Amino acid sequence: MNELLNQTSIKINDKVFLKNPESSNLGRNIISESIFLINELGFEKFTFRKLSNKIGSTESSIYRYFENKHKVLLYLTSWYWCWLEYQLVFKTVNTKDPQEKLKTAIELLTQTAKQDSNYSYINESVLHKVVIAESSKLYHTQEVDSDNKDGLFLVYKRLVHRVSVMVLELNPNYEYSHMLISTVIEGAHQQKHFALHLPKLTDTQDGEKGITHFFTQVVFSSIS
């Protein structure tokens, strides 16, 4: 854990990009504006041509960093999961009570991200909206097995495993810890989406606190 906390930058699998976008101002601008443009247009309508117009550059310059827009979305979601893992470690590293540690983790996984001044070119709040709306599309492609083989989902799986270990601290005999935590993450995203667009499919009178309370109940009822 201490090694993770001491890292000064977020490390993304280099198979996601052709050139590391953190290596230049243009690369960071590509990432920054991609977040806003995908959030504004949706992933289907997002194109490198629209992005190049937004940043005042050329499509060819973007292709020097990313093979296609699928890889851009993989980069953004990988960055988000890695950043969230840092938040998780920071918030729980000094918590001795395993029950409180798990409650803190559930709260972090189910609440909206806030901007982090440590990464000035990333708006974590808007990125969180992109992850909610678009990240599941990465798993429902013909390339998912190849992407998985290349380790492109490793950071997400690592985050799920880290919290599943907290579950097993409370109940070592619980058989479905990974399934439970991935359901919390994806379910919280779904409920937030429903609250905005299909409110009759959810119960969020208390807003975000209601979602956190619900999944806290789900987790502790399941493992008790």
- pLDDT of res. 205: 62
Residue with tokens 């990333």: 122
Q: How many angstroms separate the Cα of 110 from the Cα of each of 41, 104, 132?
A: 24, 10, 11
Q: Has domain 2-14+78-223 been given CATH number 2.40.30? A: no
Q: State yes or no: pLDDT of 65 exceeds 70.
A: yes
Q: Give the SS3 label for residue 158.
A: helix
Q: State yes or no: pLDDT of 31 exceeds 70.
A: yes
pLDDT category, 111, cuts 50, 70, 90?
very high
d(C-alpha 85, C-alpha 4), whole Å:
9
CA proximity to 83, closest of 132, 22, 156:
156
d(C-alpha 175, C-alpha 164), whole Å:
10
d(C-alpha 26, C-alpha 49), whole Å:
15
d(C-alpha 177, C-alpha 171), whole Å:
10
> pTM score, two decimals?
0.92
Q: Pick the more confident residue, 120 or 222.
A: 222
- pLDDT of res. 118: 82
- pLDDT of res. 5: 43
Average pLDDT, the chain: 93
Mean pLDDT of 82-94: 94
Q: State yes or no: pLDDT of 44 exceeds 50.
A: yes
Tokens standing for residue 203: 């119960």
Domains of the chain, residue spans: 2-14+78-223
